[in-house]
Amino acid sequence: QVQLVESGGGLVQTGGSLRLSCATSGLTFRDYSMGWFRQAPGKEREFVATISWNGGTTYYADSVKGRFTISRDNAKNTAYLQMNSLKPEDTAVYYCAASRLLVIVVAASLYDEWGQGTQVTVSS
């Protein structure tokens, strides 16, 4: 059974930092690219960041570029999202996802497995 479990969310003040983790099981982690998405109340789910199977390529949404960093540890079957300089508009439920496409993937429809999400709230 494939599982993706996010952790590390919480409440933080504007300008603060959080590190999200996505622990996976039931899949061969290195055979998947990974992505992070987020969904704020009343809004569509949006792409945040993606990383290729070996970590060699990353891509970010313009709204988080320069503030967020996606990474992965294939030995630990875990992906990460380091979030710095957080803003109130970053408040959302954050989801990790795995795609069998080995390259970076932006479209949510191309991801095969999803986590349950973790809440990030940035207070002003």
pLDDT in tens, the chain (124 residues): 999 999 999 999 999 999 999 999 999 999 999 999 999 999 999 999 999 999 999 999 999 999 999 999 999 999 999 999 999 999 999 999 999 998 889 999 999 999 999 999 999 9
- Rounded to whole angstroms, how far apart are CA atoms 9 and 118? 5
Instruction: Read off the tokens for 119.
Output: 């809440």
Give the per-residue pLDDT at 103.
87
Alpha-helical (H) ranges within the chain are: none
Amino acid letter, 2: V
- Residue 22's nearest CA partner among 115, 109, 103 is 115
CA atoms within 13 A on the CB side of 13: 0
Give the per-residue pLDDT at 114.
98
Give the per-residue pLDDT at 102.
81
- Rounded to whole angstroms, how far apart are CA atoms 25 and 123? 33
The pairing of beta strand 78-83 with beta strand 68-73? antiparallel
Give the per-residue pLDDT at 3.
98
